[in-house]
Structure 1
């Protein structure tokens, strides 16, 4: 029985990045032997065990054989005869197919360490095409490692295009697409995720609403990058810069301009009412991918209201109160923070505008604080009751927001 550290722990150590999880592969052991040593069995589809003291995962070396379409269509073989090299061969990328022995020696049959040095994301073998989730994983790793200079190998891109052409990605279930997308939106450069999917043709299959934005022009005086698809990429990366790791802000950034794909050709490059036209495609996308309710709701708010955020200084106090109320921001200020960050990312996710200030955010925060400071107690003390309390509170909140606006103007 031999134990090796594998996967991300080895990769990240070689990249001199923090190591989060320690996964191990066990060669030359049976399930009964693992149980006898005190390990706890947790794997449903293949033998995975938790260490009795550390709780870290230890999986028996295994091979996989394709038996059907999609990522469920595999037969798994795991016993003491499976070698370490056979186990590593079933992995997706060479940088994830490196093992480290207990003495620190690397086992690297597919030259993953070399690809780490050369900053290349490369598939291990042609068996890569058998699991469509791997296409999403490569795109996600691109989003994570693009800031370090990583690119996808040409031959790997060719394989992924082949997977799309042969319909493999059509068999991805919504939960897995969303799981990988959500992770990618929390990476340092999520635009790379979108670009890889687009270059392989998968974006058109999985996110047709986003794919449709490419080639759609915007007014150059407001959007020097012109292409709406490029704008989305820039907003995604700005969101990652403003709120590192926040995939909720990332999803709002991804979907805020979907309405621009629906603008009639004779109206371009203007996009009248795009903030309202984007609601329906956003709802379709969210339903198809089974996006969590809070993500869908906040993305819809950003889609509908981002222009109001940009022109916040021009809005009447009553309109600002309506905006805050629609966000439920008086009770839940964290929702306003997500909204404002996504709006700031939109404003700064433009060519030559990356360093623009966004004073609207501070103004709306102050307006929210002023409005939230108005409570029912003072009106009850005055003897008001029933609907008149709500009416009085609304008027008082508008007055409080007006005072903020006046002081800001000064």
Structure 2
């Protein structure tokens, strides 16, 4: 029995990055031998065991063969005869197909170390094209390591293109897709993830609503970058630069989908794109079964982001409606995430990345003014039920008018 550290732990050590998760492969062992040493079985499809002390996962070396569509369409074979090289060749990228023993002696049959040094994301073997999930994984690694200068090898991009054209991507489950998408959006350069998906044709299969934004112009006076798709990538880039949470990044990706529906004869204007885009945002969220908080914020940002940009001009009554829509009294954090999404949208414009966004503090002040209206005095005056709600609304409107007057004084 031989035990090797494999995959990401080896890759990240060689890159000088912190190693968090460690994957282990066991060569030359049987299930019975693992059980005899106290390992606990956890793998449903193939033999994976938990270490009796550390709890880390140890997998028996295995080979795999394509047997059906999609990510799960494989049969696996694990036996003591399977070599380390045979186990490594089934992996996605050469930089993930390295192993080392307990003395840090490297086994690198597919030149992963060389590709690390050359900053190349390259597939290990033609079997790469058998697993559609790898399209998303490679795009995610591109987003993670773009800052180090990594790019996707042209021949790997070609295989990704073939996968995108094959119909295999449609076989991915919503859960598997969302897991990769959400992880990719939280990388340092999530815009690279979307760009790589677009480069290989996967974006038009997975998110045609986002793909449709490229080539759609906006008024140059407001959007010097003009192209709506490029603007979306820039907004996503800003959201990562400012370390925003997943909810905000997801909303930033989807906020302008309505512009993809604007008839060409109306370009570069996009009248009511906030409302036309809602059905598209909903469709994308449902397709990937995005978590409820991501869905809610994406829809609210899609509908109200132009309100955010015009915050200083809004009437007090419109401000109040905006605050009510977000339920700022019980869910203040959601309104805060809306504000920063609007700021990322404003910063995601060519040459305007550093421009101040006074609307943010103005909206925070408005929410504070409305929240500070006390309910108790109204209760003491005998208001209750629907009448209490109306009285509270009147007092909040009064408070917002006072706030607006003070801010413009």
Q: Same fold judged by TM-score > 0.5?
A: yes
| Farther off after superposition, 387-396 or 69-78 | 387-396
Q: Is the 8 A contact 2:94 2:115 kept in 1?
A: yes
Stretches of 4+ moved more than 6 A in 1?
none
Q: Equivalents in 1 of 2:384, 2:177: separation in Å?
A: 51
| Farther off after superposition, 126-135 or 315-324 | 315-324
Question: 1:228 corresponds to which residue?
Answer: 228
After superposition, residues 161-240 of structure 1 pair within 5 angstroms as 161-240=161-240
Q: Is the 8 A contact 2:317 2:397 kept in 1?
A: yes
Q: Is the 8 A contact 1:23 1:57 kept in 2?
A: yes
Q: Is 1:280 matched with 2:290?
A: no
Question: 1:407 corresponds to which residue?
Answer: 406
After superposition, residues 103-182 of structure 1 pair within 5 angstroms as 103-182=103-182
Q: Equivalents in 2 of 1:408, 1:17: separation in Å?
A: 48
Q: Is the 8 A contact 1:182 1:247 kept in 2?
A: yes
Please list the CA deviations of residues 361-406 of structure 1 after superposition, one character each: whole Å capped at 9, or x if unmatched.
Answer: 1111121122122232221123322322212211222222233323
Question: 2:397 corresponds to which residue?
Answer: 398
Q: Is the 8 A contact 1:88 1:97 kept in 2?
A: yes
Unaligned 5+ segments in structure 1 are none
Q: Equivalents in 1 of 2:277, 2:382: separation in Å?
A: 46
Q: Equivalents in 1 of 2:328, 2:144: separation in Å?
A: 32
| Farther off after superposition, 38-47 or 387-396 | 387-396
| Farther off after superposition, 210-219 or 312-321 | 312-321
Q: Secondary structure at the match of 1:160?
A: helix
Q: Root-mean-square deviation (CA), in Å?
A: 1.3
Unaligned 5+ segments in structure 2 are none
Q: Equivalents in 2 of 1:79, 1:115: separation in Å?
A: 30
Question: 2:43 corresponds to which residue?
Answer: 43
Question: 2:343 corresponds to which residue?
Answer: 344
What's the TM-score, normalizing by structure 1? 0.97
Give the Å deviation of 1:185.
Answer: 1.0
Q: Is the 8 A contact 1:242 1:341 kept in 2?
A: no
Please list the CA deviations of residues 71-121 of structure 1 after superposition, one character each: whole Å capped at 9, or x if unmatched.
Answer: 211110112111111111110011111112111111111111111111111
After superposition, residues 291-306 of structure 1 pair within 5 angstroms as 291-306=290-305
> CA 1:378–1:39 in 2, change beyond 3 Å: closer, same or farther?
farther
> CA 1:401–1:15 in 2, change beyond 3 Å: closer, same or farther?
farther
Give the Å deviation of 1:294.
Answer: 2.1
Question: 1:387 corresponds to which residue?
Answer: 386
Q: Is the 8 A contact 2:326 2:334 kept in 1?
A: yes
Q: Equivalents in 1 of 2:217, 2:301: separation in Å?
A: 21
After superposition, residues 64-75 of structure 1 pair within 5 angstroms as 64-75=64-75
What's the TM-score, normalizing by structure 2? 0.97
Question: 2:27 corresponds to which residue?
Answer: 27
Q: Secondary structure at the match of 2:345?
A: helix
Q: Is the 8 A contact 2:7 2:97 kept in 1?
A: yes
Q: Is the 8 A contact 1:64 1:75 kept in 2?
A: yes
Aligned residues: 409
Q: Is the 8 A contact 2:246 2:294 kept in 1?
A: no
Q: Is the 8 A contact 1:243 1:341 kept in 2?
A: no
Q: Secondary structure at the match of 1:266?
A: helix
| Farther off after superposition, 104-113 or 226-235 | 104-113
Q: Equivalents in 2 of 1:361, 1:212: separation in Å?
A: 30
Q: Is the 8 A contact 1:161 1:200 kept in 2?
A: yes
Give the Å deviation of 1:174.
Answer: 2.0
Q: Is the 8 A contact 1:243 1:249 kept in 2?
A: no
Q: Equivalents in 2 of 1:328, 1:121: separation in Å?
A: 45
> CA 1:348–1:77 in 2, change beyond 3 Å: closer, same or farther?
same
Give the Å deviation of 1:322.
Answer: 1.4
| Farther off after superposition, 35-44 or 268-277 | 35-44
